[in-house]
Amino acid sequence: MLRCIIRLAETRANPLDPIYMQVFDSSTLPRALKRQDLYCDLAIAGGGISGVCAAISAARAGIKVVLVQDRPVLGGNASSEVRLWILGASSHLGNNNRWARESGIIGEILVENMHNNPEGNPVLVDALLLDLVLRESNITLLLNTAIDQVSKDAERISSMRGFCPQNSTEYVISAPLFCDASGDGILGFLSGAAFRMGAEKKEEFDEGLAPPPEYGELLGHSLYFYSRDTGRPVQFSAPAFALDDITKIPRFRKFNTQDNGCKLWWLEYGGRIDTVHDTETIKMELWKIVYGIWDYIKNSGNFPEAETMTLEWVGMIPGKRESRRFEGDYMLTQRDIVEQRQHPDFVSYGGWAIDLHRADGVYSEQSACNQYHAKAVYGIPYRCMYSRNINNLFLAGRIISASHVAFGSTRVMATCGHNGQAVGIAAAMCIKEGILPRALARGDALALLQRELVRKGQYIPGYRLEDEDDIARAARLVPTSEYALSALPADGPLLPLEYPIAQMLPLQAGKVPAVTLQVSAKKDSELTLSLRISTKADTHTPEIILSERKVSLHKGENSIYVDFDANLEKAQYAFVCLHANADVAVKSSLILVSGLTLTHHKFNPAVAVSACQQAPEGSGVDSFEFWCPARRPAAQNLAFTLSRPVRVFSASNLTNGLQRPIAQPNAWVAALEDERPTLMLCWKEARCPRKIVLVFDNDLDHPMESVLMGHPEHDMPFCVQQYRVLDGTGRVLVSESGNHHSLREHSLPEGLSCKSLLVELTRPAPNVPASLFEVRVYE
Ligand SMILES: Cc1cc2nc3c(=O)[nH]c(=O)nc-3n(C[C@H](O)[C@H](O)[C@H](O)COP(=O)(O)OP(=O)(O)OC[C@H]3O[C@@H](n4cnc5c(N)ncnc54)[C@H](O)[C@@H]3O)c2cc1C
């Protein structure tokens, strides 16, 4: 009988056509759920940021994906159900990882969210993720569907089963490849993949940050609330289950009625119990805490400003930080992060601090978390992204193969998303070649994976794209102009030297040019300046002092000329540091140039406790100073004149295989006065280009937090919004306006044959010269 109604439902031409009434007599036969069998190339469990990025990248690479998410919305902890802001290597701009924001699919998500939702409305993040997934015809999305079974064939998963209570349907999804992006690792757990839970002992990986038992071995869950001022008195009577003794939360003296959402990250509990199976218990405790805090805020009398406030939203499910971590062929460790150890199979990177939390969470007397930054971003090997014993299982998100300490850094969502892209593209390559994940971990296959990833916008530390298929490399590049950095006008505000600041200058090997600065002194004074560089040319912690100068200032305006008399052995950024002086301010410039920035030696309390990271004895982390840019739109440059122009913005950067500033800006920047700069690509023989790829500057320093923080702009000022591509006859092949993305791929008309292509940019603003990181052309 049941079968009958299913058939009836399935034969309707239009699913919205009515089903005429059927009568089902009582039955002694067991009834079965409606079942749907699905087949795909890659089946993904979990639609958090890692699952979404894996699904989109795999789908765009041409394979069929089923993405199964147990919640009504995508995004996991980034969704409106939990409301965490997506963060990654740029770490709220609070560390020395310059131009480190993640690119590829997660970059696209952040940029699009910034464009449409700079206010950080979490509901719009849900809509954006859903929109991006629904646009991919290769993805079948199952929402509200929880995976709860797997079938195996030897050491491979053959299918996974999910149940959707909304439509009372059981799904059986068969695929040659699976990806576990479920946070708790449902596929890995059920299939028998090797995993760990809790912290490794210090000895296992020589990790000084391995926590002692009193600190605890697991990070707990958190649950947030949003409050709102209604403008009229609002009463609140707490539910009986609310915590009634607020002093049980040692932090109660620091409560602040303005804190909402992710700023309540310290509302944490559960690190001493089973963060998989005790989740409902943990959630009840967190609700108890939330309502107890709100009761205290509303009814203790200590917060008169809360009189008109109401509790607008309380999380329904907790954000989960940590549970299972699965073992791949390699486990990332603290030393990989701190020392930026090299591995040949890097496919991604991280850069968030090693951010560990006390297991007692909100009930701890001590500070809730400890964050230790590395001096630079670190690579993540591909071998961390598949199970070592389940042969067709990829790992994505917080469950990748990392020690507890390393997980403290890899767990943030932009890192998870960037890793997810690596998994998606690896899966597509496995399908194309008929191989399993491990086969891509070395040799030519690995080289192809890395190349494909970087082509799609992935950043891999230390990797330079050598793309033999790219005919732009064989072209003569003729730009109308190239920016020469010789002076920035003093048209910006005076910056008081309350703390040290440093202008980062991209210099080539050889003598460092002398610098002239405009400073204003309240009285006769002395200013100390130093020239610093990083130990490694591709990092940006200015730890080596090459030279120091003291300059006498008289009261009023001073033009100071500083010759550091220093040489650089290799091309890298040099930091011209002005030491703090309460009587002195320095003139800034409004000109913004790709790959040029001013840093401040101070700290962001969200991610650090002082401007100098102090490594505890035996911790294995480094002590060093933070030098970070200001947040947009305050980020700027000093006004200065150099004794000779620095010419590092040439068009040859467009084919150097690097797509962001690293040791050098790696950008072609046109002259500021060039309002419509063009780049001619000329070949000796006629070529048949089919596709052109352009990579624009989207300010890879700005962290673009996805919710709550709010951003002053929709688009980044460096990004060229309007551009065209023309052939040698002047025919317009591509014409774009309103661009706000970094990576743009354009198909060119069929049958095109030409000896030259012209890329024409429009200067983004009168104070921002047009720039481009890369041009690639494929036949
Ligand atoms: C309170 C808190 C604060 C944090 N702060 C930040 C921060 O500020 N910025 C940041 O970037 N990161 C932060 N993190 C870390 C980050 O949120 C997580 O590490 C990250 O979300 C992990 O990504 P994921 O895709 O692995 O998992 P998730 O985001 O958890 O996504 C996994 C998804 O899979 C679904 N799922 C689970 N089981 C199944 C199943 N059986 N079937 C189908 N679907 C399933 C889940 O519902 C979930 O939606 C924080 C975490 C917490 C908890």
Provide the pLDDT for residue 12. 64
Q: What is the mean pLDDT of residues 452-473?
A: 97
Provide the pLDDT for residue 9. 45
Question: How far, in Å, is the centroid of ligand 1 from the Cα of 427?
Answer: 22
222 CB under 6 A from ligand 1?
yes
Question: How far, in Å, is the centroid of ligand 1 from the Cα of 50?
Answer: 9
Question: How far, in Å, is the centroid of ligand 1 from the Cα of 221?
Answer: 10
Q: Are 477 and 483 in contact (CB under 8 A)?
A: no
Q: Are 555 and 524 in contact (CB under 8 A)?
A: yes
Provide the pLDDT for residue 27. 77
Provide the pLDDT for residue 635. 83
pLDDT at 419 over 90: yes
| Closest among 71, 135, 91 to 109, alpha carbons compared | 135
Of ligand 1's listed atoms, the one at least distance from the Cα of 77 is 29
Q: Is the peptide bond before 633 cis (omega within 30 degrees of 0)?
A: yes
634 CB-near residues (< 8 Å, 6+ apart): none
* 29 or 71: which leads in pLDDT: 71
Question: How far, in Å, is the centroid of ligand 1 from the Cα of 48?
Answer: 6
Provide the pLDDT for residue 113. 98
Q: What is the mean pLDDT of residues 296-319?
A: 95
Of ligand 1's listed atoms, the one at least distance from the Cα of 399 is 26
Of ligand 1's listed atoms, the one at least distance from the Cα of 50 is 25
% of residues, the chain, pLDDT over 90: 92
| Closest among 212, 196, 566, 628 to 404, alpha carbons compared | 196
Question: How far, in Å, is the centroid of ligand 1 from the Cα of 319?
Answer: 6
Provide the pLDDT for residue 11. 53
DSSP assignment of 421-443: HHHHHHHHHHHHHT--GGGGSSH
68 CB under 6 A from ligand 1?
yes
Q: Are 422 and 347 in contact (CB under 8 A)?
A: yes
Provide the pLDDT for residue 4. 38
- CA–CA separation, 624 and 542 (whole Å): 9
Provide the pLDDT for residue 252. 86
Q: How would residue 210 be classed by pLDDT, with cut points 50, 70 and 90?
A: very high
Question: How far, in Å, is the centroid of ligand 1 from the Cα of 321?
Answer: 7
Question: How far, in Å, is the centroid of ligand 1 from the Cα of 269?
Answer: 16
Q: Are 49 and 86 in contact (CB under 8 A)?
A: yes
pLDDT at 6 over 60: no
Helices 443-455 and 413-433 pack at an angle, to 10 degrees, of 130
Of ligand 1's listed atoms, the one at least distance from the Cα of 223 is 1
613 CB under 6 A from ligand 1?
no
- CA–CA separation, 425 and 446 (whole Å): 12
Question: Which residue puts its alpha carbon closest to atom 45 of ligand 1?
Answer: 46
Q: Are 388 and 327 in contact (CB under 8 A)?
A: yes
pLDDT digits (tens, 9 = 90+) for 599-613: 999 999 999 999 999
pLDDT digits (tens, 9 = 90+) for 708-754: 998 999 999 999 999 999 999 999 999 999 999 999 999 999 999 99
295 CB under 6 A from ligand 1?
no
Provide the pLDDT for residue 1. 37
**Amino acid at the residue 135:** R
- Residue of 79, 82, 84 with the most ligand 1 atoms within 8 Å of its CB, for mutation: 84
Q: Are 80 and 126 in contact (CB under 8 A)?
A: yes
Tokens of 423: 């998994």
SS3 199: coil
pLDDT digits (tens, 9 = 90+) for 507-552: 999 999 999 999 999 999 999 999 999 999 999 999 999 999 999 9
- Residue of 413, 706, 708 with the most ligand 1 atoms within 8 Å of its CB, for mutation: 413
**Arithmetic mean of pLDDT over the chain:** 95
Q: What pTM, to 2 d.p., does this model score?
A: 0.96
- Residue of 56, 106, 182 with the most ligand 1 atoms within 8 Å of its CB, for mutation: 182
Measured at the CA of 312, the angle between CA 306 and CA 317, to 5 degrees, comes to 125
86 CB under 6 A from ligand 1?
yes
Q: How would residue 8 be classed by pLDDT, with cut points 50, 70 and 90?
A: very low
Residue carrying the six token digits 């890192």: 415
SS3 296: helix
89 CB under 6 A from ligand 1?
no
Of ligand 1's listed atoms, the one at least distance from the Cα of 46 is 34
pLDDT at 502 over 90: yes
95 CB under 6 A from ligand 1?
no
- Residue of 77, 110, 184 with the most ligand 1 atoms within 8 Å of its CB, for mutation: 77
Question: How far, in Å, is the centroid of ligand 1 from the Cα of 57?
Answer: 19
87 CB under 6 A from ligand 1?
yes
Question: How far, in Å, is the centroid of ligand 1 from the Cα of 598?
Answer: 34
- CA–CA separation, 631 and 705 (whole Å): 12
* 165 or 4: which leads in pLDDT: 165
Question: How far, in Å, is the centroid of ligand 1 from the Cα of 445?
Answer: 31
Q: Are 140 and 37 in contact (CB under 8 A)?
A: no
262 CB under 6 A from ligand 1?
yes
70 CB under 6 A from ligand 1?
yes
Q: Are 741 and 695 in contact (CB under 8 A)?
A: no
321 CB under 6 A from ligand 1?
yes
397 CB under 6 A from ligand 1?
yes
69 CB under 6 A from ligand 1?
yes
- CA–CA separation, 615 and 619 (whole Å): 6
Question: How far, in Å, is the centroid of ligand 1 from the Cα of 259?
Answer: 22
pLDDT digits (tens, 9 = 90+) for 668-711: 999 999 999 999 999 999 999 999 999 999 999 999 999 999 89
Provide the pLDDT for residue 20. 77
Question: How far, in Å, is the centroid of ligand 1 from the Cα of 411?
Answer: 9
**Amino acid at the residue 201:** K
Of ligand 1's listed atoms, the one at least distance from the Cα of 417 is 25
Q: What is the mean pLDDT of residues 54-72?
A: 98
Q: What is the mean pLDDT of residues 578-593?
A: 98
pLDDT at 284 over 60: yes
Q: Which helix (H) or strand (E) holds 454?
A: helix 443-455
Provide the pLDDT for residue 206. 97
Question: How far, in Å, is the centroid of ligand 1 from the Cα of 2?
Answer: 38
% of residues, the chain, pLDDT over 70: 98
pLDDT digits (tens, 9 = 90+) for 388-409: 999 999 999 999 999 999 999 9
The most distant pair of C-alpha atoms in the chain lies apart, rounded to whole Å, by 99
146 CB under 6 A from ligand 1?
yes
Provide the pLDDT for residue 21. 79
SS3 237: coil
pLDDT digits (tens, 9 = 90+) for 420-455: 999 999 999 999 999 999 999 999 999 999 999 999
Question: Which residue puts its alpha carbon closest to atom 35 of ligand 1?
Answer: 46
pLDDT digits (tens, 9 = 90+) for 95-105: 999 999 999 99
Q: What is the mean pLDDT of residues 32-56?
A: 97
337 CB under 6 A from ligand 1?
no
pLDDT at 2 over 70: no
Beta bridge partners of 437: none
Helices 104-116 and 122-134 pack at an angle, to 10 degrees, of 130
Provide the pLDDT for residue 7. 43
